[in-house]
Structure 1
Amino acid sequence: MIAWLLAPLLLGLCGRGSPEELCPYRVSGEGAGGGLCFRTSASDFACERRACRPVHGPGGSLRANVLRNGSVLLQWRPPEAGRAALRGFALNCSWSGAHARFRCDSVQLGASCRDYLLAGVHPGPRYRVCLRSLYGNGSSAAAECLDFRAEPAGLPDIVIAMTAVGGAICVMLVIICLLVAYITENLMQPAPAPRA
């Protein structure tokens, strides 16, 4: 808790950016150290159509940018009401397996955070991410959730390659059929009829 109170001071000492650009966060879960970390906010990120697919939450403030490299950049807008008392955000993640639901790491983020990179997303399962706003008096807002599914890496490239190979085989078969038709019509002369 003391580290969260000292976060503004630590941000000022880092020298890598202003406090508005740096995001303090803590990951808790299996295999996570739970220490306070800092990351630079990706405020200028644009989801390009070839490498990214955006998924919007029902409330409109949470968005998941599903990238082709197996990661997801989560972005959000802070709530308008109670912005002065805002102390941070709680991010929870889970994904559905064949018979059970598994939890991802939970993340506590500082009030200056507007995005978080969820790395190591498995292709295929449906993920559910929920974000709650936390306030100084210990209360929290209702969570906004969204569901997404990551695409297998390189799948569009495989489809394009298979389509190109299939098209080339079809063209070759058409050419072979035309050659056979030409040979049988023009080059092979019918045998002369025997004279009586």
Structure 2
Amino acid sequence: MAKNQPRKLQTTLCKALSLNSNFYEDACNTPKTHQRALTIVILAALSHALGSGLILLLNRAPFPILILALIIDTLSVVTGYYFWTFTIFKIGQRLKQIDPTYRDLLSPIGFAYAPQVLNFLTLIPLLGRPIELVLAIWSLLTVIVAVQEGLDIRNRTAVLICLVGWPLIQGAIGFIQIFEQFLAKSAV
């Protein structure tokens, strides 16, 4: 049974990356789907930390700064996931009288973090920033599909709901990266 878990996670990742609305519509919040969605978010966080950590390592950041950056990067992605889900939930709650609970949105939005699993690719020289931008937009699109299906709303409304939290998260991630670079340079 445990042998099938990686295969199921891989299948889930592929479906989540495809922007298939049926996948997000069927992403009900059972303990198994919630666990799988949280696993994707954690993999996305670790991938982000790996990419940032390797860049800091190449820039010869001291070991304590490197460890601190890895922890901050990992926590920032996980915190961003819960924050974005919360903003989507609150705005969706105001727009619609009958809505899913906050917990009901965690799985579809967690699955929508699938593009971020590829965030380690940002360490590719000269392509890191464009890759990061593509992954951020891809994640935005997957969250829009997840919200559209999760809240059963029109596409335009889903876009507006998702665009409220997205710039805040992107700004926070950019601030964290600048702060980590500052720490690395000031420690050398």
Q: Same fold (TM over 0.5)?
A: no
Higher Rg: 1
Structure (1 or 2) with the greater strand fraction: 1
When the two structures are superposed, what TM-score results if normalisation uses the length of structure 1? Answer: 0.27
Q: Specify which structure has the bigger relative contact order, considering alpha-carbon pairs within 8 angstroms and separated by 6 or more residues.
A: 2
When the two structures are superposed, what TM-score results if normalisation uses the length of structure 2? Answer: 0.28
